[in-house]
């Protein structure tokens, strides 16, 4: 078994492993299972229900809080806030969306980060593979003792497992989803409850049919643990495989053994530090009498991902040289992470306290702090990004062999620079503590801190005030609006009634009221940018031509004449996540990148795709082609991450818009297009076009949207 041991489950009653998951309204949506002391595994459709979304919604939830209710051994309960850390949405067997009436699907997993008081969460239970013939038990999320349902596993040869319930006792139903399937004989979790087959109902009345021996009775299905492990590993939640025991030829193992021998030469020193290490890592140990061998100690450092940070923290004060030597040796292995468990938990607590606007700009801070880093996970959660940052080395600016500032700390300095003073102080205290444990000189961290402040000042100076409006169709001739303002700290929603519909004139008035409400100090010398968020079927919607004039108003109030107005289609980027990094990189080249003009009326649209893949420095495309071909080319450009696309929605060929706007610098296009629209009203013969400017700023946050998912066209 070894001296470092897996913790024994603290609960004798396996029902305590099931936790309840709900939303802000306090209603219970389903169950879950603790994966670690701060993470809970459940079904994605449980999270969707808790957040008031459709069960098969695939979009990653935002930072909105969920709640996890933990049952303690003394029949008390703790209601703890949580958020989605990793998201594997429901999907059909062919990988597409799940039909609303489907009985079976794949995926459907969510890992939640839980903010629980110390000592209230159970040690994770043992987990083993699901096998046919196992007798298992499930519990309702309410946690009531009488709600257990006994089931028998019928199949184990696919991505889902069928379970049949006993004829007596409780039947699985709503509220069981996401909860653990507990093997009564192996004393371990073998999967999660996912869904159940309900008795048939009359399609006219909706009432259950009279019972019949031919009806399917008490059949459910769950996700086998082996399938869960495969899904979580593919999503990067678990390591690709259990790290193999280090051998004598492993360079990290050999150097760590030498370093531990030098730092802790006596058995008593080795045993005392080993016990503290085990406690900080949440594992058991072999007792107070016999310490581990040095080899066992080194092997544990290369197996537990957060053991090395804990050990360097224990040694830093009294044995700084040994701590440095152990860090150097540990970095030869890919297993150790940057942060100790305590530092990791404090970081997430710190992030929960930051303003939502700052958190919304986290990815922007990453790109600014690490401009030369490899591609980052796209379209994922904050937790996914932080976990990735932990694996990155320090930057290259280091003198005389001094430790480099890790990527995560550099990013946190940039994030802190966006915060108010009190929040910035807390971020810096956390960074100071981690840097001290790593032996990073204060001067090195101070330099990165200055970089962050300089970047934040530049961002504030260049951040144009925006008004974002999502426009979706309602009844014919009318539209629904969701409106946000962004004065440089991220979008804040200002519309309240998202169910109301507006004519074009009414919508223009609504937008002008919001634009007039902006602070003159915030607007400064530039007119606010109006960013219209649409799906890909509405890219030609003439929002720029909407007039707000009413009988009692003096001026027409044409939106695209008074304000620089652009369109943005987040749907296309979301549907083609693999191009997100290209989009971000192209945006960084906005002032120096190339422009492509498409004017061949007979061109195959796929040739545009091939050309853009060859010309990765292209940042702007001007499309001068017939209508259907034009729209197809525009969508290809936006999907592959071209940040700026210009076209004329009124003309099929020889567009005056493309020719005239070619003279305008890319960064000045929003104002150039506004000026063109004004001239269209003033000199329609000389300015006959109706320009559309698609503008996707990779440095500015777009709110999470509820967009329709139209079917793919040819």
pLDDT tens-digit map of 55-77: 898 888 876 678 999 887 666 78
Least confident of 69-83, 130-144, 526-540, 565-579: 69-83
Range in 37-41, 217-221, 302-306 with the lowest mean pLDDT? 217-221
pLDDT over threshold 50, residue 712: no
Query: 101 versus 269: which is more confidently predicted?
Result: 269
Cβ-proximal residues to 317 (8 Å cutoff; 6+ apart), any chain: none
pLDDT tens digits, 597-625: 998 888 898 999 999 999 999 999 999 98
Answer yes or no: is pLDDT of 459 > 90: no
Beta strands in 124-169 (DSSP E): 135-138, 149-153, 161-165
Residues 88-102 as b or e (16 or more Cβ within 10 Å = b): bbbbeeeeebbeeee
**What span, in angstroms and rounded, lies between the C-alpha atoms of 121 and 35?**
10
| pLDDT tier at 116, thresholds 50, 70, 90 | confident
- Between residues 183 and 383, the one the model is more confident about: 183
Kindly tell me if the per-residue pLDDT of 20 is higher than 50: yes
Q: Which pLDDT belongs to residue 400? A: 58
- The contacts of residue 331 (CB under 8 Å, 6+ apart) are 252, 393
Q: What percent of the chain has pLDDT over 70?
A: 87
Output Rg (C-alpha) for the chain, integer angstroms. 29
Q: Which of 520-524, 641-645, 680-684 has the lowest mean pLDDT?
A: 520-524
316 band by pLDDT with thresholds 50, 70 and 90 = very high
Region 370-395: mean pLDDT is 76
Enter the tokens of residue 611: 């050309």
Q: What would the 3-class secondary structure string for 48-69 be?
A: HHHCCCCCCCCCCCCCCCEEEE
Residue 425 has pLDDT above 90, yes or no: yes
Band the pLDDT of 190: cuts 50, 70, 90: very high
Is residue 682 within 8 A of residue 659, CB to CB? The reply is: no
pLDDT at residue 1 greater than cutoff 60: no
Residue 714 pLDDT > 50, yes or no?
no
Q: Angle formed by the axes of helices 307-315 and 294-301, to 10°? A: 120
Beta bridge partners of 473: 479
Q: pLDDT tens, 158-180? A: 899 999 888 777 878 888 999 99
Cα–Cα dist 469/233, whole Å: 38
- Mean pLDDT of all residues in 118-133: 84
Q: Report the predicted TM-score, pTM, of the whole model to 2 decimal places.
A: 0.66
Determine the pLDDT at residue 23: 86
Q: Lowest-pLDDT range, 2-11, 112-121, 349-358, 464-473? A: 2-11
Taking the C-alpha atoms of residue 587 and residue 666, their distance in angstroms, rounded to an integer, is 11
pLDDT of residue 520: 60
Q: What percent of the chain has pLDDT over 90?
A: 42
Residue pair 516/527 in contact (Cβ under 8 Å)? The answer is no
Of residues 518 and 415, more confidently modeled = 415
Beta bridge partners of 152: 135, 164
Tell me how long the chain is: 714
| pLDDT value for 710 | 35
The pair of structure tokens assigned to 312 is: 């360097």
- The answer on pLDDT for 239 being more than 80 is no
């Amino acid at each position: 078994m070894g001296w470092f041991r897996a913790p024994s489950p603290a609960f004798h009653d396996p029902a305590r492993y099931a936790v309840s998951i709900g939303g802000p309204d306090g209603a219970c949506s389903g169950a879950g299972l603790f994966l670690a002391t701060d993470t809970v595994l459940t079904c994605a459709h449980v999270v969707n229900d808790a957040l008031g979304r459709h069960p098969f919604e695939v979009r990653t939830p935002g930072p909105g809080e969920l709640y996890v209710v933990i049952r303690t051994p003394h029949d008390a309960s703790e209601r703890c806030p949580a958020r989605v850390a990793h998201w594997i949405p429901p999907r059909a067997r062919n990988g597409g969306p799940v039909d609303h009436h489907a009985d079976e699907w794949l995926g459907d997993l969510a890992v939640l980060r839980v903010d629980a008081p110390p000592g209230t969460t159970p040690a994770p239970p043992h987990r083993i593979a699901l096998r046919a013939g196992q007798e298992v038990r499930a519990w309702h999320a309410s946690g009531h003792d009488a709600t257990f349902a006994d089931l028998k596993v019928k199949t184990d040869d696919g991505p889902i497992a069928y379970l049949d319930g006993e004829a007596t006792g409780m039947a699985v139903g709503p509220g069981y989803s996401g909860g653990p399937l507990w093997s009564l004989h192996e004393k371990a979790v073998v999967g999660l409850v996912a869904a159940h087959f309900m008795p048939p109902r009359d399609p006219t009345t909706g009432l259950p049919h009279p019972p019949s021996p031919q009806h399917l009775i008490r059949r459910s299905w769950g996700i086998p643990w082996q399938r869960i492990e495969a899904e979580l590993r593919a999503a990067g939640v678990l390591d690709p495989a259990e790290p193999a025991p280090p051998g004598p030829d492993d360079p990290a193992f050999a150097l760590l053994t030498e370093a531990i021998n030098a730092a802790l030469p006596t058995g008593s020193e080795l045993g005392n530090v080993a016990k503290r290490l085990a406690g900080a890592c949440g594992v058991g140990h072999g007792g107070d009498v016999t310490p581990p061998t040095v080899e066992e100690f080194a092997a544990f450092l290369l197996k537990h991902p957060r053991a090395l940070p804990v050990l360097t923290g224990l040694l830093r004060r009294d044995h700084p040289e040994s701590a440095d030597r152990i860090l150097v040796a540990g970095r030869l292995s890919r297993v150790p992470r940057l942060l100790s468990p305590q530092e990791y938990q404090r970081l997430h607590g710190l992030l929960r306290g930051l303003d939502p606007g700052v958190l919304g700009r986290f990815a922007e801070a990453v790109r600014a702090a690490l401009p030369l880093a490899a591609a980052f996970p796209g379209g994922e959660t904050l937790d996914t990004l932080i976990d990735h940052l932990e694996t990155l080395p320090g930057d290259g600016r280091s003198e005389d062999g001094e430790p480099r500032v890790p990527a995560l700390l550099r990013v946190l300095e940039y994030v802190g620079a966006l915060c108010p003073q009190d929040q910035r102080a807390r971020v810096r205290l956390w960074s100071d503590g981690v840097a001290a444990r790593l032996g990073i000189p204060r001067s090195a961290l101070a330099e990165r801190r200055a970089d962050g402040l300089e970047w934040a000042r530049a961002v504030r100076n260049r951040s144009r005030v925006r008004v974002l409006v999502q426009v979706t169709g309602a009844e014919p001739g009318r539209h629904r609006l969701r409106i946000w303002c962004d004065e440089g700290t991220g979008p804040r929603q200002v519309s309240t009634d998202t169910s109301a519909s507006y004519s074009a004139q009414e919508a223009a008035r609504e937008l002008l009221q919001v634009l007039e409400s902006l602070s003159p100090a915030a607007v400064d010398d530039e007119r606010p940018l109006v960013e219209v968020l649409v799906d890909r079927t509405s890219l030609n919607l003439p929002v720029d031509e909407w007039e707000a004039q009413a009988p009692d108003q003096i001026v027409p109030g044409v939106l695209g004449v008074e304000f620089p107005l652009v369109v943005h289609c987040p749907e296309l980027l979301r549907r083609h996540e693999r191009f997100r990094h290209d989009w971000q990189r192209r945006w960084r080249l906005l002032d120096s990148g190339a422009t492509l003009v498409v004017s061949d009326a007979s061109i195959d649209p796929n040739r545009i795709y091939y050309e853009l893949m060859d010309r990765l420095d292209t940042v702007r495309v001007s499309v001068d082609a017939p209508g259907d071909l034009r729209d197809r080319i525009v969508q290809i450009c936006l999907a592959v991450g071209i940040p700026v696309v210009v076209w004329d929605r009124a003309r099929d060929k020889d567009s005056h818009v493309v020719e005239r706007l070619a003279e305008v610098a890319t960064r000045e296009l929003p104002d150039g297009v506004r000026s063109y629209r004004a001239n269209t009203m003033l000199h329609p013969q000389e300015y006959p076009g109706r320009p559309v400017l698609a503008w996707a700023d990779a440095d500015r946050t777009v709110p999470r949207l509820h967009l329709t998912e139209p079917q793919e066209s040819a």
